[in-house]
Structure 1
Amino acid sequence: MSSVRGRRLPRRIVQLLIGLFMYGIGIAFMVRGEIGAAPWDVLSQGIALHVPLSFGVITVLTSVVVLILWLPLRQKYGVGTILNALLVGPSADVGLLLIPVDQPLWLRIGFFVIGLFVLAAATGLYIGARFGPGPRDGLMTGLHARTGWPIWLVRTGLEIVVVAIGWALGGNVGIGTLAFALLVGPLCQFFMRIFDVKLPERAKAQEE
């Protein structure tokens, strides 16, 4: 079993890093779409309007705060969890520098669609690498474990709260926000099946 796990480790590391970079690029495409961002990105947008920090830096700081909230929930950090918190924000800033602003509506819709698919594929890559959940996913599962509330209810509640705060601060809420909420789950599930790295059961349990 250990030999199988060892042979797959390089692939898992590469898959994790590519997934985290792509995740930030997907966020950047959706933000540049300007038709409504994903809930946590609405929050980062809103905060960015009030502090002299980039979108990516705020994303990192928000992730750190979320990880602090893991402590009373007794969630365990993985290597992927920490790297997610540290790398997604900078890659989003790279994407925001490269993707042009103030484009025609048809192109902005295209940006959003590209971003949604890139983000979903990236989610499949980094979760499929089995190095631990992202900060926000861990908060969701931790609250589910501690409260007994259904996953969908916890996720919906969290996202309503962050969207409301982000919108109050000036973040971009629109049809894209609704489209993200409806489509991201099925898309992520599809890509997770494609990119899941099969591990021996004992090794898999240790990773989780």
Structure 2
Amino acid sequence: MLLRTVFLPVVASSRRDLVERILQLLVGLFLYGVALGLMLRGGIGVAPWDVLSLGISGQTGLGYGLITNLVAVAVLLLWIPLRQRLGLGTVLNALLVGPSADLTLWLLPPVPSVWVGAPLFVLGLVLLAFATGLYIAASFGPGPRDGLMTGLVRVTGWKVWIVRTLIEGSVLLVGFLLGGPVGVGTVLFALGVGPLIGWFLPRITRLGEQRSRRLVPADSY
């Protein structure tokens, strides 16, 4: 009974559909971490949550990936008073994105100039939007930060953009005060991530729905 209260049920049209969606979720989360690493190596600024993670990392000496995971866990604790339910995607998001980002940073050395860094950041931003579309379209629950937003919207009755702005602004301010890097890339992220996700998500979702419909007749015999 407790598990049903805390966790979202896993729903699938068939076993194959479930396996393919889990694979899609894992690929999406891995690529999300890769995208974070690319944007960080770009050296022109990072997203608000990464400003916070890097600020904490600089103050504590702990690795960026570990801090990213710990921040995600801390955000999940904020779900408790909001009575948000965890999904498989929520838990894996909190566990896998940080190590994937750390692996990317280990494999990719710092860039020599902004002329290399800026395109690298843009590549990371586009990849992050694509990866977000993958893991959201897999339908295993929202990530920790997205769940915090939707929970606050439900509890307060405020508009999504107001809650999102307050969360991102607060995180950015705290991260900046802790010494996290704020730059042109931070502005590019704020302006570009929404439209890019808005382009990728419906297309990936539509492809997933078409795949699920194809699988149902084959598994119903």
* TM-score of the alignment, normalized to the shorter chain, above 0.5: yes
Q: Distance in 2 between matches of 1:3 and 1:161?
A: 37
Aligned with 1:131: secondary structure?
coil
- Higher Cα radius of gyration: 2
Q: State how 1:79-98 maps to structure 2 within 5 Å.
A: 79-98=88-107
Aligned with 2:139: secondary structure?
coil
| 2:66 alignment partner in structure 1 | 57
| 2:170 alignment partner in structure 1 | 161
Q: Distance in 2 between matches of 1:162 and 1:145?
A: 20
Q: Distance in 2 between matches of 1:4 and 1:71?
A: 30
Are 1:122 and 2:131 matched, yes or no?
Answer: yes
Are 1:186 and 2:195 matched, yes or no?
Answer: yes
Aligned with 1:44: secondary structure?
helix
| 1:111 alignment partner in structure 2 | 120
Equivalent position amino acid for 1:61 in 2: L
Aligned with 2:62: secondary structure?
coil
The CA deviation at 1:7 is: 3.0
Are 1:141 and 2:150 matched, yes or no?
Answer: yes
Aligned with 1:77: secondary structure?
coil
Q: Distance in 1 between matches of 2:112 and 2:93?
A: 30
| 2:108 alignment partner in structure 1 | 99
Q: Larger deviation: 94-103 or 163-172?
A: 94-103
The CA deviation at 1:9 is: 1.1
| Deviation readout 1:80-109 (Å, 9 max, x if unpaired) | 000000000000100111121142111000
Q: Distance in 2 between matches of 1:140 and 1:109?
A: 29
The CA deviation at 1:5 is: 3.7
| 1:205 alignment partner in structure 2 | none
Q: Distance in 2 between matches of 1:176 and 1:68?
A: 29
5+ residue gaps, structure 1, are: 201-208
Aligned with 2:59: secondary structure?
coil
Q: TM-score, normalised by structure 1?
A: 0.92
The CA deviation at 1:54 is: 0.5
Q: Distance in 2 between matches of 1:5 and 1:43?
A: 41
Q: Distance in 2 between matches of 1:53 and 1:72?
A: 29
| 2:217 alignment partner in structure 1 | none
Give yes or no for contact 2:12–2:18 (8 Å, CA) kept in 1: no
Percentage of identical aligned residues: 55
5+ residue gaps, structure 2, are: 1-10, 214-221
Aligned with 1:35: secondary structure?
coil
Aligned with 2:13: secondary structure?
helix
